[in-house]
Chain A
C-alpha cells in the first residue's frame, strides 16, 4: 500500500521567504509527526497531531513555524521568513493511534535549503 508521502522532495528558497511543506500520511493513521534532521544531527521533534488537534507544539523552534492538519489527513508545515539555520531535512511520520506504542512510518523527507 501507499506509504507516507511528502512534497516537495527538495526546496531551495531565499532568506526571508515563506515555505510550505506537505505531508500525506498513510490512510487511516490518526497520529502525525513532524521532525527536523539537520546535517549530521539526530531527529528534532517539532510537533505532533492526534487527528486534527496538536496536543504537543513544544518542539516548534520559533513562532515562525506553524503546522496544521485538516480532515485528519494531510498536514502542512509552514515556515515564515525563512533563515539559513532553517536549512535541514524535514521528516513527516504517521502512526495508528492504537495500540499505543505503534511504530512510526516515515516519509522520504523534504530537503530545505535557505540561501
Chain B
C-alpha cells in the first residue's frame, strides 16, 4: 500500500541554521509528492510539489527533490527564519486516483 513516513519532531533550530526534514514514501505506482505547511493558528497550505522522479519543487527558499531510487522527498532550506516556525507535512497522491496520504507532521521551532 501507500504510506508516508517523516521524521518526528519537534525540530528546534536557531535562526539562519540549515534545515532538513526527512520524508520517505511507499507507493505502488508513480505518485506526486507534496510538502504542506501549517502555520500557527492557520490552515494547511501547499508549500511545494514534484510530480515525477528527479523533479525539484521549490518555494520561499525551501526545496525538495523527488528521489525515486531512495523513495525520498526531503525538505531543505539553507537559512531558516523565525517565521518558518510551523508544522510541515509530507504527502503523496496516487497515480490513478486522487487520494492523498499524509505523514504525521514535523513541528519546526526556530529561535532568534
Contact = CB atoms under 8 A, between A and B. Distances in A.
Interface of A: 31, 33, 35, 41-43, 45, 48, 50, 55-56, 91, 93, 95, 97, 100-109
Contacts, number: 60
Nearest to B95: A100
**What's the dominant secondary structure at chain A's contact region?**
strand
Contacts of B93: 100-102
B62 interface: no
B22 interface: no
A91 B102 CA distance: 13
Contacts of B89: 42-43
Given A100-B93, A101-B31, A103-B49, A43 B102 contact: yes
Contacts of B36: 106
A103 B43 contact: no
A51 to B, nearest CB: 11
26 contacts: A31-B98, A33-B100, A42-B89, A42-B104, A43-B89, A43-B102, A45-B100, A45-B101, A55-B97, A56-B97, A56-B99, A91-B43, A91-B44, A93-B44, A93-B100, A97-B98, A100-B32, A100-B95, A100-B98, A101-B31, A101-B51, A102-B93, A105-B46, A106-B43, A107-B43, A109-B43
Nearest to B4: A42
